[in-house]
Structure 1
Amino acid sequence: MVSPPHEAMHRIFQHDPGLFSRVSRFLGVDIPAPVKATALPTDLTEANPVERRVDTLLRLETAGQGPYLLAVEAQGKKHPDKPASWAYYTAYLWTKYRLPTALLVVCQDHATAKWAQQPVSCGPPQLPTLTVQPLVAGPHNMPVITDPEEARADLVLASLAAITHAAEPGVDAILKALSTALRDAPEDIAKPLVEFTAQGLAKRPAKNLWRNLVAVDLSFYKSYLAEEVRAEVRSEVQAEVRAEVRAEVRSEVQAEVRAEVRNEASAESRAEDILLILEQRGLDIPEDVRSRVTHCTDPELLRRWLARAVTVPKAEEVFEDA
């Protein structure tokens, strides 16, 4: 299954074919900048049912050395079958197009990069009929661009630097420099680089930093990254507002309950006072009178009954004015 980092590592060369010549100086070779670039079909399948597909294939033309092919492969981990596939790609492309073919492998970890750049030969040791040794771009040789001015000078290279250093400790500084540099870039230039960088970071921890930088530093850019962050912030704000509303409602309810409890306590106290006065006066208190007094919750009515309890000749008469 093709992953976002895999796509970002090779498609960025489709986006800017001239990037290869700028990357080459970090790989120990000097490739002239192309004056023309053409994207070619990536399907290398023959009539047989075996499918061979290179990640990115470009025809680059230079001013002094003529045209050549550039095959870009994104490699996420070691795979024993890959050198044979790369040998097939380069031999097939050379045969089909009759053009020199360069192979660039882009990696995101040191172990894979070290493995990919080892020469692999087919044939017996004494007869290395075909040797494959691709150029490899990875965290071991790609620049760590932490200066916004340096990033601004080559935004695509800065994006590739972030992608190849996605798992490295210095990626945070690269991302901050890139986001700062992209502030002044037109949206049509910034948009694909924001997406390439996001794809290249995939599920790594730096992805969260990039999302936040895009949402804050590049607030003009309405990408899915910015929308994800805004959705998260909106959810957090909604939760905070709901909590505040619940707190306000709780406070109001507490006040109402306190008032009710006070009234109940006051009514209970007055009911006890009424019954106590009647008892102290030696009056007989029928059960219905006692029940009516104890179940009354009207403070004003209880106050009147209390006043009458002092003088009525019979307990039943405390209710007469009710």
Structure 2
Amino acid sequence: MAISPEHQIYAELFADAPDMAVGFLRDLGVNVPDYERSEVTSCDLGHVDPVERRSDVAIMLRGPGPDDPHDHLMGIVVEVQRDQKERKRFTWPEYVASLRSRHECPVTLLTICPRQSVADWYAEPIHLGHPGFVLRPLVVGPDDIPVVTDPGAVAASPTLGVLSAAAHGAGRTDVLDALHSGLSVIDPEKAAKYIGYSLHLLADTNGQKALETLMMADTYEYSSTWADSLRAEGEADMLLRILAAKGIDIPDGARERISRCRDVGQLAAWADKSAAITHIDELFDE
């Protein structure tokens, strides 16, 4: 199944910052154990059969346990859903059971939905058939994402800043001000990536235009060239991640061609094309 750039961006945000998933779970009332570190683990949650079972992000919380100072304390399956798909009601219980069986620890399902109507739909309980065996997905929609207006909060958690911009930036310039100012003090390469993500998630909205204007404003000493370069870097990084997620081999020459491209229109065309290709050469075919 083709992975959209928007879908991949949300997954990458949680892969970049696994602790962010913990924060959302605690906000939803989940009793998350104290842990020493969180880490992204294998997303392959299937069995030995021809059917692929792969979650968007799988996270493991580790810390002191009865037999191991780095014991598996809790697993988190993060799923990103942009549309209503009945099939997910059958595959999600398998994801949870597979990760639980593999690591022999409790596992929680966290579903991220960029659209509130989709979030409300997925919040319905999943009845598995066995008496009392019900999976109730924990769902985060735009209404559950905090409105981040403090640049310091963005600098401390850039991924949360991007989520806030995507959920609220189309109508709130203070969120975009905080995103812009907060990202200006972190590593430039990471800032470029997160600006690219934000522009993509705000595509075709007033928020996208406002963020681009903010980046180019003289008061922030950003030029149009610099802004375009940042956006292109983010789009190129996103394209490479999509290709990797599809299992397409990317030779060094192709990787460099994509990474060095600063034509946002060309990168967007390649991204659209990536959904239907099986070999890297097809991406560059005219």
Quickly name the TM-score band, shorter chain normalised: 0.5 to 0.7
CA RMSD of aligned residues (A): 3.1
Q: How does 1:104-253 map to 2 (within 5 A)?
A: 104-123=110-129, 127-128=131-132, 130-165=133-168, 169-170=171-172, 172-216=173-217, 217=220, 222-225=229-232
Contact 1:120 1:132 in 2 (8 A): yes
Residue 21 of structure 1, CA deviation? 2.4
CA 1:2–1:212: 2 relative to 1, 3 Å: farther
Residues 190-238 of structure 1, C-alpha deviations (whole Å, 9 max, x = no match): 233223323433454533333444455465674234899x979xxxxxx
Q: 2:76 aligns with which of 56, 64, 70?
A: 70
Contact 1:214 1:225 in 2 (8 A): no
Alignment gaps of 5+ in structure 2: 66-70, 236-261, 265-286
**Larger-Rg structure:** 1
Question: What TM-score results when the alignment is normalised by the length of structure 2?
Answer: 0.67
Match of 2:50 in 1: 49
Contact 1:122 1:131 in 2 (8 A): yes
Match of 1:35 in 2: 36
Contact 1:18 1:33 in 2 (8 A): no
Letter in 1 for 2:117: A
Contact 1:5 1:202 in 2 (8 A): no
CA 1:114–1:154: 2 relative to 1, 3 Å: same
CA 1:24–1:214: 2 relative to 1, 3 Å: farther
Q: 3-state DSSP class of the match of 2:59?
A: strand
Percent same amino acid among aligned pairs?
27
Alignment gaps of 5+ in structure 1: 233-322
Residue 115 of structure 1, CA deviation? 1.4
Q: 1:100 aligns with which of 91, 99, 106?
A: 106
Contact 1:13 1:20 in 2 (8 A): yes
Distance 1:159 1:33 in 2: 26
Question: What TM-score results when the alignment is normalised by the length of structure 1?
Answer: 0.61
Residue 155 of structure 1, CA deviation? 2.6
